[in-house]
Amino acid sequence: MPSSPPRRRLLQVAGGGLVAAPLAYGGWQWLAPRGSSGDSASSTGTTTGKPASDSADQAYLHVIAHADDSIYFMNPDLEQSIRSGSLSVTVCMTSGESDGRNAPGKSPQFKTMRTDRPGFARARINGLRAANALMATGDDNSPWTVEPVELIPGFRSELHYLQAAPHVQLIYMGLCEARYVSVPRPVSLRGLWLGAIKELPTLPGTGSTVRMPRAYTRDQIIDALAATIARVNPTVIRTLDPTPMHAPRETVAMMSAPTILRGLSYLDHQDHTSSAQFMQAAMERYWGGGKGRAASVSNYVGYPTNYTPPSLDAATTRRNSQLLNAYGWADHRDCGDPAGCGDLKVGPNGLKGGGAGWARGTRTRAPGTSRWVAPLKDGRLAAFTVLNGAVRCWVEQAAGKGPWVGPFDAVGSAGGPLDPQVEVARHPDGTLQLFAVRTVLPFHGQKHHKELVCVAQSGVGADGVPTFGAWSSLGAPDTAAEKTLETGFPATAVGPDGTVHVVARNWAGDVALRSGRGGKAWSPWRLLDHPEGKPPLHPLVVEGIDALVDRSGRLHVAAPIAKTVLHWMSPAPGDVPVLTEPTGLTPSGSAVSLAADGKDGVCAVYRQAGTAQVAVASLAGPDGPWKVGRRAPVGGYGRVAVTRLTGTGTPMVLAARDDQGRVVPSSHDSAKPDGWEAPGMQFVGIPGVTQDAAGRGVLVVLGTDGQLYAARQSRPGAGFGEWSAAVRESAGSRV
């Protein structure tokens, strides 16, 4: 093994100063000693597990609008990244100055407090530093070093790095915030994005090392974020939600706003949305030049988590409370800064009031799918995922054997970056078809909109890698450009006659269906029925629906809503599914996954709200009722991958994320004693699950280093073996 590189920051120059000009590509990467990134104890006494690879092979970039966003919306993922030992950089775009009063809005102190926006901005920065220090070292007072850094020439931001763990870094751009959740204000990120202003000024916090306020144009913000991508060279990028759910009613302020600022009202903070949209533009600009190593993207839901069932269990929620207490200066510790040591608007009330649901739920805009791996005609497996906004492919070298090789650029451009999820449908003739979502940004005369896209396999290259034709558009269930932005991610099911069914959530929260024989000649979009009676709660359907065709050819669709799970079923093969009797299932804290039940129906797998408990529900007969079995707790959050293997015994395979962010499989049938196998590595997205040429279950995950990892059963229904990394593509490693 080569000797360990020194534990150092690459930003430092002689005398501890900072390079004033932009740094060289990759200049912020902090290299931990090899072998130092093993298990590390968390504050609860558990372990984070080993990262997918050496800490130098992965880096994390988080882009947020306000200082508390990553704590509320990105945990537990943020803490797991910080504790991995790899470079973890958080960019906070706004100063977060709000009303300039560091006190709860209804408190006596608030009424008499003078407005001090630079001071409140500094207090929020100190709060985020405390929370990050607590995650990294267990000490919220662990010291930081602050230096100016130029993201683009002439524009300085603050760089903070934790002295005891210099791989943990914060960057404050200090742009003025909107100061209102949804009231249109020209001087804001949204105002700049829409063109209401030409420049957005900064507001440095009290005592900032960046003393000269500046103003950014829209292009300069995009360039600054693109430069950050280049310097961090991340393998994992996390942002807030660029296309959140709309509010059920338009606000008076929005209707009376200047024309350029009008539009739908949304349930999220306008700064959250705009920060993510700017980052989308930066990624498109950067990746459009063919730069950067393979990176996955996750977009985290913000305020709308209050409108969805809680997705985290009690232990994770308590940990979030500890971190929010550190951010909110609940202990009134002395950090040595007269501006304040945290955000007293949050204070000890992070799990109370209007934001209660934020700390109890972690959801990503793309709920993920387990159907991103499927067999080719010759029995070899192929896996597809979105990296750097494009589909990448891995393939087995031999059917049922491996190793895997990749990633390959097997699929052409969709005309712009894809959103972070791709689903694979397999036709009866063994060819594959990919389905994804493309967001078109409002540049070059185009309206801001989303559309579902698909591409069919055209053959297999001489190197054994599948080839695909041109992407085609399926449009969206809604025609108005602004409404298409809330289009859900597609779930697909293929009938025995080769008809491909695509279901997706529409703007209103209903489920829309489009079908095409052979994956072409598509029918128009049609809406499935919804419960009768009073108008449904907004939104009706939470993101995370699934579809499956059973052995008799009937199409099933399942979708989580606020208080239960809905189920639609075709009365006969070829019919449009209709809503069945109420399932009686408890609220879901995750997307719902469907699998064959081993008979003639389906079972639904999901996490029960507030517990993260994995539930396996199956129909006792064609008309119900549903019976629920529960698996041993594993913690974690998100969709559970599931498939039913064909053949003797028809065992079920499950895979989930545990409370340390690791993949854990289960090979037990739902009728047998529950249990989970030994955890694998940390991963992003959802595990992929399928069956190989020998009838064995195969699991694949995308590691935090952007590489594929796979595990296989020793025999159908048995436990899974060791996880192994795919062989990276090279001139000599082609199939």
pLDDT digits (tens, 9 = 90+) for 674-720: 689 999 999 999 999 999 999 999 999 999 999 999 999 998 888 99
The pLDDT value recorded for residue 534 is 58
Structure tokens at 308: 């969805």
Task: State pLDDT tens for residues 403-460.
Answer: 999 999 989 888 889 999 999 999 999 999 999 999 999 998 899 999 999 999 999 9
DSSP assignment letter at 490? P
DSSP run (H or E) holding 282: helix 270-287
The pLDDT-based confidence of 258 (bands split at 50, 70, 90) is confident
The pLDDT-based confidence of 353 (bands split at 50, 70, 90) is low
Measured from the Cβ of residue 620, the count of other Cβ atoms closer than 10 Å reads 10
Measured from the Cβ of residue 286, the count of other Cβ atoms closer than 10 Å reads 22
Mention every residue, 6+ apart, whose C-beta is less than 8 A from residue 394: 382, 383, 404, 405, 406, 407, 408, 700, 708, 726
Task: State pLDDT tens for residues 120-130.
Answer: 999 999 999 99
Task: State pLDDT tens for residues 195-231.
Answer: 999 999 999 999 998 877 799 999 999 999 999 999 9
d(CA 580, CA 130): 50
Domains, in order of start, for the chain: 14-355 (3.40.50.10320), 373-728 (2.120.10.10)
Q: Directed axis angle between helix 218-232 and helix 270-287, to 10°? A: 60
Lay out the sheet containing 555-560: strands in order across.
546-549, 555-560, 565-569, 578-579
Lay out the sheet containing 697-703: strands in order across.
683-691, 697-703, 708-712, 724-725
d(CA 414, CA 472): 8
DSSP-based three-state secondary structure for 294: coil
% of the chain residues with pLDDT over 70? 89
Task: State pLDDT tens for residues 80-95.
Answer: 999 999 999 999 999 9
The pLDDT-based confidence of 355 (bands split at 50, 70, 90) is low
Query: Where do the H-state alpha helices sit in 479-540?
Result: 481-484
Task: Examine the pLDDT at 300 and tell me if it is beyond 50.
Answer: yes
Task: State pLDDT tens for residues 143-165.
Answer: 999 999 999 999 999 999 999 99
User: Quick one: CA dihedral 357, 361, 366, 368, positive or negative?
Assistant: negative
Residue 37 near residue 58 (C-beta atoms within 8 A): no
DSSP-based three-state secondary structure for 381: strand
Task: State pLDDT tens for residues 599-621.
Answer: 888 999 999 999 999 999 998 77
d(CA 232, CA 117): 30
Task: State pLDDT tens for residues 23-74.
Answer: 322 323 332 222 333 333 333 333 333 334 467 899 999 999 999 999 999 9
DSSP assignment letter at 330? T
Task: State pLDDT tens for residues 474-512.
Answer: 999 999 999 999 999 999 999 999 999 999 999 999 999
Token pair 């393939």 in the structure block, residue:
395
Q: What pTM, to 2 d.p., does this model score? A: 0.92
Nearest C-alpha neighbor of 721 from the set 733, 705, 710, 729: 710
DSSP-based three-state secondary structure for 707: coil
**Average pLDDT rounded to a whole number, residues 632-650:** 89
DSSP run (H or E) holding 631: none
The pLDDT-based confidence of 728 (bands split at 50, 70, 90) is confident
The mean pLDDT value of the chain amounts to: 88
Strands 727-728 and 404-408, sheet pairing? parallel
